[in-house]
Amino acid sequence: VKRAALLLTCEHATNHVPKEHQRVFGGQEGRAVLGTHRGYDLGAKGIAHGVARKLASNSALLFAGPLDGEVTRLLVDLNRSPRHPRVFSTYSQRLTREERAELMRRYYEPHHRLVRATLKELLKRAKTVLHVGVHSFTPELGGQERNVDVGLLYDPARSSEREFATLLLHGFRSHSDRIRVRRNYPYRGIADGVTTMLRREFPSSRYAGFELELNQGTLESRAFARASVDVLSDVLTEWLGRSDA
Ligand SMILES: [Zn+2]
């Protein structure tokens, strides 16, 4: 049994809209919004898959994913608890009740089932699972510029999450002192979402929930995207490779 395994997820990987729901995004405004940060996490999927490709080259590491969301969060937001008021956007509010229930059955529930099943599989082979959700945020919201490149989201009350955040923070800072890293920004790690739900279901001795939030403005730089993949995969390799207890 290994000491640690990794689960990678990317809930907001895509802005895909299945045919039967395209009428909700009719008109210029509806089509345009899908291409923005409201439609998906620009750049996040590339980072998650880049990290997985690097980790896959080391057969000693135990990891699974990335498990990607398959539709735009403007239809159903996978990174919310099922009864959260914002699991449905102002666009999906235009759908009928039955259509929204169908979005839950077709997209929300399968993702959440897969995340839990994969987590349980990994826990058969490792003492703890570190879950890393890869996200990105818009550099400007409501006229406010967010002067941070990397946000580390976790529960400060959980020591293994705190420890991983510190390693990652040092990883980014030693890569370049120009990368601005901040803990629990632009959101708090204990806000509603997948990791917060899973913390209630799995004890801290077995599950560490972590989210990486990358600035979409900074991500336009290929150098920063590459640095993010490199730092994350290096720190994860160290975390997963620590001697089996
Ligand atoms: Zn996201």
pLDDT score at 219: 95
pLDDT score at 209: 98
Parallel, antiparallel or unpaired: strands 150-153 and 181-183? parallel
Quote the CA–CA distance of 204 and 158 in Å, as a whole number.
7
Residue 13 alpha carbon to ligand 1 centre in Å: 8
Residue 60 alpha carbon to ligand 1 centre in Å: 29
pLDDT score at 234: 97
pLDDT score at 244: 55
pTM, two decimal places: 0.96
Token duo for residue 122 = 């990994």
Q: What is the pLDDT along the chain (245 residues), one digit of tens a residue?
A: 889 999 999 999 999 999 999 989 988 888 899 999 999 999 999 999 999 999 999 999 999 999 999 999 999 999 999 999 999 999 999 899 999 999 999 999 999 999 999 999 999 999 999 999 999 999 988 888 889 999 999 999 999 999 999 999 999 999 999 999 999 999 999 999 999 999 999 999 999 999 999 999 999 999 999 999 999 999 999 999 986 54
Residue 243 alpha carbon to ligand 1 centre in Å: 32
pLDDT score at 7: 98
Residue 73 alpha carbon to ligand 1 centre in Å: 9
pLDDT score at 27: 83
Protein residues near ligand 1, an ion, with CB under 5 A: 12, 41, 135
Residue with token string 């449905």: 88
Coil vs helix vs strand at 168? helix
Quote the CA–CA distance of 233 and 227 in Å, as a whole number.
10
pLDDT score at 214: 98
pLDDT score at 135: 98
* Nearest CA among 234, 205, 229 for reference residue 129: 205
Residue 216 alpha carbon to ligand 1 centre in Å: 11
Residue 1 alpha carbon to ligand 1 centre in Å: 32
pLDDT score at 142: 84
pLDDT score at 243: 65
Residue 181 alpha carbon to ligand 1 centre in Å: 17
Token duo for residue 48 = 């998650």
